[in-house]
């Protein structure tokens, strides 16, 4: 772990997590650190080591209390109800014109790729061709982790969408073929066998006792959103979250829970087939089996709706990449009127698979192109706060007191200095708490 934190990113170019850890990976795989990291954040052995390193540094401040997600900000409801819908209404009131049911298929540019000249696509059943005027700005994503998602239900397994039409990833491929500045989309969006996984959304009506029993079992207070709970011995690699209230329109007698199966292509332990071949009813049985709550199945089934989702590109943003060149900048060099936002642009020090990254890149794009002099939301720099570092060290070592043998191998010159003083300093370093609102 120390080597990971100190190794420069460019020495990890294209490297997977498994490759970095080499013959220590089997041992590392069994540690709570990897088990939490893998199940809660959906990282797999073959994902990018650069991204893992960034996550470890970027969220170092959450690690001391990761098991209860202490410090992580939750929206009141899901992101659509809490963020997208209010923003949509607000912008509509301001006169922003949204065109639904529209797919962009290309951004035409001038010969030097400095200026977008036309947006091409399909709107409804008509061809779309929007000339871009000199004063216009074009801000686009480069792809979506939920691209080509498909759904199943109680009685239908989910069918994976294998189409080569993949929304903005296809546009990105066209751009990248024109100019090296636009990076390498094939690193992210070409191997759906590696980037896919499945989730299940379970809505239970008129049976509050069921979720109350789960909360009681795992020690959560009544009517709370739980942390992500990982089922370590699940063949499908299930982790689940129980929500207090997930949808703004959720009725008082409805409970919502969500789980994923990161290895859904493997056989289940109770239902002996891959998650992707199962109906919602079968998926629910496998889940109940792992909770040792199979006796609830008959009662639940008539009042439960299971929505299955297969997301072919859900971890595309985690695929191995180089530290430079695979992802374009928000405003690529030479751009006169266009910028890229979302999860596939290069943003120094920041991570992907977060709403925050999409917001930050959008701010950078809007301010940068329009020349508005405003500061972009800064990254929280927990890695420079010795208090978090000491708390993390204690957490990983599962100790309250750091001893000499816990210290990483030190330079002989440093060793001669006051090691006892160093230990005393580390052990006297006060802890931090996310209850301290000044941290936000
Ligand atoms: C199951 C799951 C759990 C998550 N959990 C968390 C979490 O706990 N915390 C967190 O911070 N983040 C989480 N995320 C990630 C977060 O939701 C995403 O990073 C974020 O929503 C990405 O926003 P975006 O606007 O960049 O892209 P998207 O939300 O993917 O939006 C891209 C949009 O572009 C559209 N589009 C695509 N192609 C075209 C085209 N050719 N023409 C026109 N439109 C097109 C798509 O339809 C879509 O509406 C999670 C994501 C998922 C799927």
Q: What angle do CA 220, 268, 290 make, to 5 degrees?
A: 25
pLDDT score at 225: 87
Helix (H, G, I), strand (E, B) or coil at 197: strand
Distance CA 312, CA 331 (A): 28
Q: What distance in Å separates the CA atoms of residue 229 and residue 238, rounded to the nearest whole number?
A: 9
Q: CATH 3.50.50.60 in the chain, residues?
A: 99-192+315-370
* Centre of ligand 1 from the C-alpha of residue 146, in Å: 6
What is the mean predicted confidence (pLDDT) over 303-326?
98
Which pLDDT belongs to residue 335? Answer: 97
Tokens of 400: 């309250």
Tokens 């191995």 locate to: 320
CA of 344 to the centre of ligand 1 (A): 11
**What percent of the chain clears pLDDT 70, i.e. is strictly above it?**
98
Q: Assign 412 a pLDDT band (cuts: 50, 70, 90).
A: low
Q: What is the pLDDT of residue 414?
A: 63
Count CB atoms within 10 A of the CB of residue 208: 15
Q: Which residues pair with 253 in a beta bridge?
A: none
352 CA: nearest ligand 1 atom: 19
Task: Report the atom number in ligand 1 closest to the C-alpha of 356.
Answer: 11
The answer to whether 316 touches 188, Cβ cutoff 8 Å, is yes
Q: Are 181 and 113 in contact (CB under 8 A)?
A: yes
- When pLDDT is cut at 50, 70 and 90, the band that residue 437 belongs to is low
> What's the CA-to-centroid distance between 428 and ligand 1, angstroms?
43
Interval between CA 234 and ligand 1 midpoint (Å): 27
Average pLDDT over residues 228-240: 94
Kindly report the CATH number that applies to the domain delimited by 99-192+315-370: 3.50.50.60
Mean per-residue pLDDT for 132-154?
97
Mean pLDDT computed over every residue of the chain: 94
| Cα 241 to Cα 226: distance, rounded to the nearest angstrom | 6
Tell me: the pLDDT tens digits for 351-368? 999 999 999 999 999 999
* Most confident among 88-102, 403-417, 422-436 (mean pLDDT): 88-102
Q: Give the C-alpha separation, 343 to 316, whole Å.
A: 9
Predicted TM-score of the model (pTM): 0.95
Nearest CA to ligand 1 atom 30: 144
Nearest CA to ligand 1 atom 17: 355
- Cα of 378 vs centre of ligand 1, distance in Å, is 21
Ligand 1 centroid distance, CA of 320 (Å): 20
For residue 287, what are the CA distances in angstroms to 7, 35, 371, 395?
40, 19, 52, 30
Is the pLDDT at 32 greater than 90? The verdict is: no
Range with the poorest average pLDDT among 28-32, 143-147, 235-239, 365-369: 28-32
Q: Whose CA is nearest to atom 48 of ligand 1?
A: 144
CA of 367 to the centre of ligand 1 (A): 21
In CATH, the number for domain 197-306 is: 3.30.9.80
User: What is the rounded distance in angstroms from the CA atom of residue 341 to the CA atom of residue 321?
Assistant: 18
CA–CA dist 303, 99 (Å, integer):
37
Element (H, E) at 432: none
The DSSP call for residue 268 is P
- What's the pLDDT score for residue 416? 65
When pLDDT is cut at 50, 70 and 90, the band that residue 440 belongs to is: low
Question: What are 277's two structure tokens?
Answer: 């071949």
Nearest-atom number in ligand 1 for the CA of 166 is: 38
Which residue from 122, 166, 342, 379 has its CB within 8 A of the most atoms of ligand 1, so it is best to mutate? 342
**What are the tens digits of pLDDT across the range 149-203?**
999 999 999 999 999 999 999 999 999 999 999 999 999 999 999 999 999 999 9
pLDDT in tens, 248-282: 999 999 999 999 999 999 999 999 999 999 999 99
What strands, in cross-sheet order, belong to the sheet with 197-205?
A: 150-152, 304-311, 197-205, 254-261, 238-243, 229-230
Contact status, residue 231 vs residue 292, Cβ threshold 8 Å = no
- pLDDT (mean) for 301-306: 97
Q: By CB neighbour count within 10 A (0-12 exposed, 13-18 middle, 19+ buried), where does 215 fall?
A: middle
Q: Which ligand 1 atom lies nearest to the CA of residue 104?
A: 42
Q: How far apart are CA 360 and CA 381, in angstroms?
A: 15
Site residues for ligand 1, CB cut-off 6 Å: 79, 102-104, 141, 144-146, 167-168, 171, 199, 314, 342-343, 353-356, 358
Ligand 1 centroid to Cα of residue 389, in Å, is 32
pLDDT of residue 292: 97
pLDDT value of residue 71: 83
- Considering the chain, tell me which residue range(s) the CATH 3.30.9.80 domain(s) occupy: 197-306
DSSP string for residues in 351-410: -SS-HHHHHHHHHHHHHHHHT------PPP-GGG-HHHHHHHHHHHHT-SS--GGGSPP-
At residue 287, does pLDDT exceed 90? yes
Atom number of ligand 1 nearest to Cα 358: 26
Kindly report the number of other CB atoms within 10 A of residue 242's CB atom. 23
């Amino acid at each position: 772990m120390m080597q990971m934190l100190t190794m420069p990113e460019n020495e990890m170019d294209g490297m997977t997590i498994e490759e970095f850890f080499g013959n220590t990976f089997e041992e590392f795989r069994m540690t709570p650190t990897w088990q939490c990291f893998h199940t809660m954040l959906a990282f797999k052995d073959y994902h990018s080591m650069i991204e893992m390193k960034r996550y470890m540094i970027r969220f170092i401040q959450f690690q001391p209390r990761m098991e209860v997600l202490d410090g992580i900000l939750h929206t009141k409801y899901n992101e659509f109800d809490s963020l997208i819908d209010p923003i949509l209404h607000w912008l509509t009131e301001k006169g922003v014109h949204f065109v639904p049911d529209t797919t962009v298929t290309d951004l035409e540019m001038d010969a030097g790729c400095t200026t977008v000249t036309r947006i091409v696509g399909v709107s409804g059943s008509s061809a779309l061709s929007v000339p871009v005027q000199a004063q216009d700005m074009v801000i686009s994503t480069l792809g979506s982790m939920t691209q080509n998602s498909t759904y199943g239900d109680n009685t239908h397994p989910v069918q994976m969408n294998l189409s080569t039409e993949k929304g903005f990833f296809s546009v990105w491929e066209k751009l990248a073929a024109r100019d090296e500045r636009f990076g390498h989309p094939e690193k992210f969006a070409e191997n759906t066998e590696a980037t896919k996984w499945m989730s299940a959304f379970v809505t239970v009506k008129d049976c509050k006792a069921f979720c109350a029993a789960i909360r009681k079992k795992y020690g959560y207070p009544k009517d709370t959103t739980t942390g992500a709970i990982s089922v370590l011995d699940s063949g499908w690699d299930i982790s689940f979250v129980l929500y207090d209230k997930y949808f703004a329109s959720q009725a008082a007698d409805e409970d919502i829970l969500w789980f994923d199966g990161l290895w859904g292509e493997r056989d289940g332990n109770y239902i002996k087939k891959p998650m992707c071949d199962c109906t919602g009813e079968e998926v629910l049985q496998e889940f109940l089996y792992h909770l040792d709550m199979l006796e609830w199945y008959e009662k639940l089934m008539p009042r439960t709706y299971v929505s299955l989702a297969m997301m072919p590109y859900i971890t595309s943003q985690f695929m191995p990449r180089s530290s430079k060149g695979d992802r374009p900048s928000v405003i690529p060099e030479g751009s006169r009127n266009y910028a890229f936002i979302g999860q596939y642009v290069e943003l120094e020090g920041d991570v992907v698979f977060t709403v925050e990254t999409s917001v930050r890149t959008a701010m950078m794009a809007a301010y940068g192109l329009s020349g508005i002099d405003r500061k972009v939301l800064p990254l929280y720099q927990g890695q420079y706060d010795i208090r978090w570092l000491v708390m993390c060290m204690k957490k990983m070592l599962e100790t309250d007191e750091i001893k000499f043998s816990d210290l990483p191998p030190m330079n002989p010159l440093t060793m001669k200095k006051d090691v006892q003083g160093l230990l005393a300093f580390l052990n006297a370093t006060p802890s931090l708490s996310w209850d301290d609102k000044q941290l936000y």
